[in-house]
A and B are shown apart, each in its own frame.
Chain A
Amino acid sequence: MTPKPDIIVDTRGLFCPLPVIRTSETAGNVESGSVIEVIADDPAVEFDMPAWCASAGHTIKLVLKEGDVFRYFIVTGHPADGARRE
């Protein structure tokens, strides 16, 4: 089942790492445990978004790919959950 997003961040037309940056701005303004749906069409998001979520302590619950468009459903974590950078 597709999670119900609390907020949608539409980054279509934006190049990486802007989808990550716009998602991070939104994540900074919502409670932890919120669901953010990120819509993106830069293919590099497939690498950037999981890496960033891991470092920032967020969890990707579901990824949908419809044509060239990705939809990420991300549950925001507590920032202290982020992994250390290696």
Chain B
Amino acid sequence: MLETFPRQSDPNVLVGLNMADDAGVYLLDRDRALVQTLDFFPPVVDDPFDFGRVAAANALSDVYAMGGKPLTAMNIAAFPEGELDHAVFADILRGGAHVANQAGVAIVGGHTVRDKEIKYGLSVTGIVDPSRMVTNAGARPGDVLMLTKPIGSGVLTTALRAGVLGEAATGKLVDIMTRLNDAASEGMVSHGASACTDITGFGLLGHALELAEASGVSVRIESALVPLMEGSLELARAGHLTGGGRTNRLFLNGKADMPAGFDEHLLALLFDPQTSGGLLIAVDETRGRRLLEWLEPRCPGVSIIGSVVPEQSARIIVS
């Protein structure tokens, strides 16, 4: 759809609509650029405070994925007037404020509309040093790919809606989804990563495809190395799959290469849309070693999951 928009000619737009990156970046002066993003969605968990936290961590992630520091945010919300207790809405906003506070971000305003379905998120403004910004376009053959959170939140939230996810498993899921990508971002910037994107609605393979296309390379994903959320493979096998995962798979048709007979349910997880997923970081192997050591105590589950190779007929090779 974005290709139908008029191309922008403002030279200060360093990252714009046509680049399919995580956030827009606008150059202010030699040392500073604005990073702007907006994300909101319907509840993915039942507890309103937790939903607010997840939505805020998810929205902030786009700034972290550019290597930026978020500064301010505005609430964007939809709420069915008269049908639900206002305390629910207040809890959602409190959850968002809690995470914003944790990230050192000031919520400076917002807007709410009436709608049948609850929705909440943030528009986030941050800042980045343009010389240290990490786009999705810098991956180079030889780089390793690192993922900073396990995948499977689409399958787990589907199971939660179906009423089959227990309290302990729900707690772990919320912990992962509310974990900020701040340390992952700080680490990748200080260790000189080549490229980055965060893993959200297009799933691991969809976002890997964006990174590969933007960088003019192909990427290999070693499925055996991809960290999965506890129970996600079993729940995928039990049929708790998302419509978004199927859409992602159709979108990648012909662009991803995988062995015949590949485990269908593992594949479903590789396409599973994530809420507030981790960062997918491309970094050369020497820096990668130091970055992995730095991230291991800060990002539970961080793993090297593949590598960047020269461009081939398939952008994504799963093995």
Please, which residues of chain A bring their CB within 8 A of the CB of B225? 17, 20-21, 52
- Tell me, yes or no, whether A51 is within 8 Å of chain B by CB: yes
Q: Point out the residues of chain B lying under 8 angstroms from A24, CB to CB.
A: 220, 222, 319
The answer to whether B317 touches A28 (Cβ under 8 A) is: yes
CA distance A82 to B317 in the complex (A): 16
Q: Is the interface of B mostly helix, strand, loop or mixed?
A: mixed
Contact among A20, A55, A80 for B260, CB-based, below 8 A: A80
How many Å lie between the Cα of A85 and that of B227 in the bound state? 12
Say which residue of B224, B261, B263, B309 sits within 8 Å of A25 (CB atoms). Answer: B309
B319 neighbours in A (Cβ, 8 Å): 24, 27-28, 56, 79
Please tell me if the beta carbons of A21 and B222 are within 8 angstroms of each other in the complex.
yes
**Interface status of A63 (Cβ within 8 A of chain B):** no
Number of interface residues of B (CB under 8 A): 22
Give me the interface of A with B, judged by CB distance under 8 Å: 14-15, 17-18, 20-22, 24-25, 27-28, 51-52, 55-56, 78-80, 82, 84-86
For A82, what are the chain B residues with a Cβ–Cβ distance below 8 Å? 259, 261-262
B73 to chain A, nearest CB (A): 37
Q: B304–A80 contact, CB under 8 A?
A: no
The answer on a CB contact under 8 Å between B263 and A79 is no
Residue B144, interface by CB 8 Å: yes
13 of the cross-chain contacts (CB-CB < 8 Å) are A18-B144, A18-B285, A20-B225, A25-B220, A28-B317, A28-B319, A52-B222, A52-B225, A56-B319, A79-B261, A80-B261, A82-B261, A85-B263
In the bound complex, how far is the Cα of B262 from the Cα of A56, in angstroms? Answer: 10
Chain B residues whose CB sits within 8 angstroms of the CB of A56 once the complex forms:
224, 319
A79 touches B259 (CB 8 A): yes
